Amino acid sequence: MSASVLYDAPGPKAVVRNRIYAVVGSLAIAALIAISIVRLADKGHLAPAMWDIFNYTGIRQNIADALLATLKAFGLAAIGSLVLGVVLVVGRLSDHKPVRWAATTFIELFRSLPLLITIYAIWVGFLTDYSMWALAAGLSVYNGCVQAEVLRAGINSVPKGQSEAAYALGMSKTQVMVSVLMPQAIRSMLPTIIGQLVVTLKDTSLGFIILYPELLQTARLIASNTQVNGQYPYVSTIVVIGTLYIAMCLLLSALATWIEKRGRRAKTGIKVAPGAPAAGIPAMEAVPGPDAGGAGGAGPTADGAGATGVTKD
């Protein structure tokens, strides 16, 4: 074990003490897990019959359909939020005061409201019969605002000389935006953008509340409609569905990390922002106003990578 900043390479006493802590800690954690398992087993939640339901083709079909529904909503929301993000950031950086003002108000308002409230209002007010579109619209509005802020941070991080040089060549503002600023902003912010897409993916589970048959809603239906030995298989269903969600999110996060690593090696000279899963907008400039990701922090966080060697996984 290597020493970190916070503690010396342990001497004999410390080694013993750390071992004791390790044993006690492991035992405590193991005990917690064991107690949970025993309690669940006592109530018959871990009986083979509970897990056997996932061998039925009907239930498998249900889960496959639900997965597809979740991915559909996610795909729509991802495209919607990225398009809206670009539109909003262009509005926010516009030369015309009313446009700028409108975009800023829109972003600030929808970013500081619970996503669920927005989705529910859209569903009840406008798209009662189209829960998928209501979900996608709500997700797009909220995440579009967040993506707009991410892109703005990206555009502001492009060295000033770049746009000055482009203007000096006689490019119009649109040309500068499209061919100089945006590509670099998107490239440097790609990990953060994908991090926000992970949040978007997680938030598709809010479709559960507006009765859109996505994974979570299906999980609840399966659990409340199948009876095994007179009990409802909530535990097994939640474990299966939870594994699916975690796998999907980890895949996306891994993609973000991979792009970030690749970006660091690239010779383009564009600095890639840190994009650990759900990492926020890097503190190259403070983002004003109350802001936070839908289901987690997207705020100006510092890069949590081992700058001082304190962090170790």
Partner 1 sequence: MNVLLDNFPEFRDGFIGTVSITAVSSVIALVLGVLIAGFRVSPVPPLRYFGTAWVTLMRNTPLTLLFLIFFFVVPEILFPGMSPFVLGSLALGFYTSSFVCEAVRSGINTVPLGQAEAARSIGMTFAQTLQIVVLPQATRSVIPPLSSIFIALTKNSAIAGAFSVAELFGWQKLMSDRGYDIVPVFIWVAIGYLIVTFTISGLFRLLERRMEVAR
Closest CB 37 distance from partner 1, rounded Å: 9
Closer residue to partner 1, CB minimum distance, 10 or 213: 10
Closer residue to partner 1, CB minimum distance, 124 or 165: 124
Q: Is 221 helix (H, G, I), strand (E, B) or coil?
A: helix
Q: Is 277 helix (H, G, I), strand (E, B) or coil?
A: coil
Closer residue to partner 1, CB minimum distance, 125 or 269: 125
Pick from 303, 196, 294: which is nearest to 253 by CA?
196
Closest CB 206 distance from partner 1, rounded Å: 6
* Cα–Cα dist 281/300, whole Å: 5
Q: Is 231 helix (H, G, I), strand (E, B) or coil?
A: strand
Is residue 303 within 8 A of residue 279, CB to CB? The reply is yes
* Integer CA distances (angstroms), 129 to 119, 122, 140, 212, in order: 13, 11, 18, 10
Q: Is 223 helix (H, G, I), strand (E, B) or coil?
A: helix
What is the residue whose two structure tokens read 């015309």?
96
Is residue 63 within 8 A of residue 218, CB to CB? The reply is yes
Closest CB 51 distance from partner 1, rounded Å: 15
Closer residue to partner 1, CB minimum distance, 117 or 165: 117
Q: Is 74 helix (H, G, I), strand (E, B) or coil?
A: helix
Q: What is the DSSP letter of 37?
A: H
Closest CB 298 distance from partner 1, rounded Å: 7
Closest CB 291 distance from partner 1, rounded Å: 6
Closest CB 159 distance from partner 1, rounded Å: 25
Closer residue to partner 1, CB minimum distance, 165 or 310: 310
Closest CB 226 distance from partner 1, rounded Å: 14
* Residue 183: Cβ-neighbour burial (10 angstroms; 0-12, 13-18, 19+): middle
Closer residue to partner 1, CB minimum distance, 83 or 286: 286
Query: In one letter, which amino acid is 166?
Result: A
* Residue 95: Cβ-neighbour burial (10 angstroms; 0-12, 13-18, 19+): exposed
Closer residue to partner 1, CB minimum distance, 213 or 299: 299
